[in-house]
Structure 1
Amino acid sequence: MNSAMELTVIEVARIAEDVMRLRLVPADGTACAAFVPGAHLRLQIPPPAGQGEPLYRRYSLTGDGDPAVCYEIAVLRVEGGAGSGWIHQLVPGDRLRATVDNAFPLQPAAGGHLLIAGGIGITPMLGMARRLRREGLPFELHYGGSHPRRMAFRDEVAALGGRLYHRDAGSLRLALADILARPQPGREVYVCGPAALIGAVVEQAAGAGWPQGSVHFELFDGSLAQAGDTAFEVEVRSSGQRIPVRADQSLLGALLDAGVEPLYDCKRGECGMCLVGVLEGEPDHRDHYLSAAEAGRQNSLCVCVSRSRSALLVLDL
């Protein structure tokens, strides 16, 4: 991870319903560092009520990586979200600390790029599209949302040749079969958005014969949804706090929403930083970090992607 830097907010603008765009520059007057599209800012957020340790939230950079341009993010306000609520109150001149990291880099593709975005997942896709357009490389962009007024950057997406999907213009989910129907040699798929959308892209691409490894994705909140996912409760042993986890919500997301901040990094179950002990309950392992033998012991899990097969999961937190 890169070292933290102090940034100054230079512009805020409401660009869609509940979506705020922020532009930031280094507070010391230096230029923004170049980055590969797909990168994100890891922002330090003050803890609720000013008590406890700072929170950290990740927001994708929408720029094409040119260091001459300021950092730009777009943040969806989430009801009860400590991070998005704080960010939506920022004004020009405010300062915050952040690092630039990248677990979802745009990579060369001999056959071009297919970019698919749902909701606020447009943010990294926009940066990729901007870079590909600047370099004159072929790409295809599909962007779905619930309603035009909730779709950030929709006019620019259209200007980039992207296809928009919403309640008045067809469903992105229903269009996936056609979008992914014809795999092409050397073509790479990038997708970001709700877990259900990403899961559908991964499933349909595999069914259509896309080569393994040709679909790249970034999740904002935990693991891919699976059929049969159900709600459960998690207990934090140190405090006794019991937190409900919805069927469409990740364990990590539920913990963060409840003000519990475990260590985590990749949010894809690969790095092992979010590994915690399981004291009671039956984990549903969905990570790529634990060996089969380690997972079989049922005494630990990666909270970023795993769930529970039992109604209650007690964690050593």
Structure 2
Amino acid sequence: MFAPTLKLRVASVEAPTSLIKSLTLEAGDGALLPGYAPGAHIQVEIPATVGGVSQWRSYSLINSDPQIDTRAGVRAYRLGIRREDEGRGGSRFMHTLQAGATLTVRAPVNHFPLAAPPSVILIAGGIGITPMAAMAAELSALERDYTLHFSGRTRDALPFVEELRAFAGERLVLHADDDSATRLSIDALLGGAQLNQPIYVCGPAGMIDAVLASARQRGWHECDLHYELFSEAAPQEGDATFEIELKNSGKVLTVPADKSVLDTLLENGVDVMYDCRAGYCGLCSTQVCGGEIDHRDTYLSEADKAAGKIMQVCVSRCKSERLVLKL
């Protein structure tokens, strides 16, 4: 079941960096908006392009004020969106918005909850700072120990630094790839941390993979590793075209090598629930009645993958010529 939809107005637009826009959204009548916990996001409806269909994009909710209890409801939602010219159009659309524009938004959901243990390592890469800001504000309000490592290509590319510094103080550590003195070293960071100290990481896939690999190599328990991928899965070399058969209707669709099963279904009017588009939230889980699945998600267990009865259609593909889906 999808979260309820809201009609919101863009109250203000700011540009903290040359590639990032920060949007504040409010109800047209000023009503209180549904509350949320740190790590939550909303989905925004992106209008259809010519010949296409409207789709939804997920954006984490920012809070940089430890004195605000966002769970009790808020007057506005704040987003941070990096423009991706090579993306699928969502960020480009969001960057065109000006104050006064209206959006259809799904109420907050959270696949990246903060357990708020005694001592936490927060690691953010680029626009991955958006959920981390809310986590850091919550930990500050609870007077819990944490460190927020914020990394980007350059110091100027890091948004929201001054407001983060205002409440995080020395717990905010900035890293810039072009500065050897501050460049993020994951090995050094985790080498100096306590084993199984909870880690929360959000940012580019490469950074997340490196953090998880380094932590696992050092013996971290999986339950202490938490992440949210801030980009959709990209096609891989060798991806091929295949067919999907919809069992309920008998309809057969072709999935191109450069397109996901999810997008193929949506473009053909098949109603499928989805959210993260990166294979970790589980919302698009779909039963498979035939064919060999190429699992690329991190949601299913190894036993579920071996059984071959369910797949995440946002990222997983087909190893055979056809998949039969229970749709």
User: Which bracket does the TM-score occupy, shorter chain normalised?
Assistant: 0.7 to 0.9
1:55 counterpart = 2:79: no
Contact residue 173 and residue 200 of structure 1 kept, 8 A: no
Q: Which residue of 2 aligns with 1:200?
A: 210
Q: Which residue of 1 aligns with 2:41?
A: 40
Unmatched runs of 5 consecutive residues or more in structure 1: 246-250
CA distance in 1, matches of 2:257, 2:234: 21
- Shift of the 259–17 alpha-carbon distance from structure 1 to 2, 3 Å rule, reads farther
- Matched residue type, 1:116: I
3-state SS in 2 of match to 1:2: coil
Give the CA deviation at 1:86: 1.4
CA distance in 2, matches of 1:288, 1:46: 29
- Matched residue type, 2:77: Y
1:130-159: CA deviation from partner (whole Å, max 9, x where unpaired): 222233322101111122333222333455
Task: Name which of 76, 86, 89 aligns with 2:82.
Answer: 76
- Matched residue type, 1:125: M
Unmatched runs of 5 consecutive residues or more in structure 2: 245-251
- Shift of the 239–71 alpha-carbon distance from structure 1 to 2, 3 Å rule, reads same
3-state SS in 2 of match to 1:233: coil
What aligned pairs does 1:11-160 form with structure 2 within 5 A after superposition?
11-49=12-50, 53-63=53-63, 65-66=69-70, 67-68=73-74, 70-79=76-85, 80-98=87-105, 99-110=107-118, 112-159=119-166, 160=168
**RMSD after superposition:** 3.6
Q: Which residue of 1 aligns with 2:7?
A: 6
3-state SS in 2 of match to 1:48: coil
Give the CA deviation at 1:273: 2.2
Give the CA deviation at 1:252: 7.2
CA distance in 1, matches of 2:227, 2:316: 17
Count of residue pairs brought into register by the alignment: 303
Report the TM-score when normalising by structure 2: 0.77
3-state SS in 2 of match to 1:129: helix
CA distance in 1, matches of 2:34, 2:307: 44
Contact residue 283 and residue 313 of structure 1 kept, 8 A: no
Contact residue 208 and residue 227 of structure 2 kept, 8 A: yes
CA distance in 2, matches of 1:166, 1:89: 28
- Shift of the 199–300 alpha-carbon distance from structure 1 to 2, 3 Å rule, reads same
Contact residue 283 and residue 307 of structure 1 kept, 8 A: yes
Contact residue 291 and residue 318 of structure 2 kept, 8 A: no
1:189 counterpart = 2:199: yes
CA distance in 2, matches of 1:140, 1:158: 12
Give the CA deviation at 1:40: 0.5
Contact residue 276 and residue 303 of structure 1 kept, 8 A: no
What aligned pairs does 1:146-185 form with structure 2 within 5 A after superposition?
146-159=153-166, 160=168, 161=170, 162-170=172-180, 175-184=185-194
Give the CA deviation at 1:203: 1.2
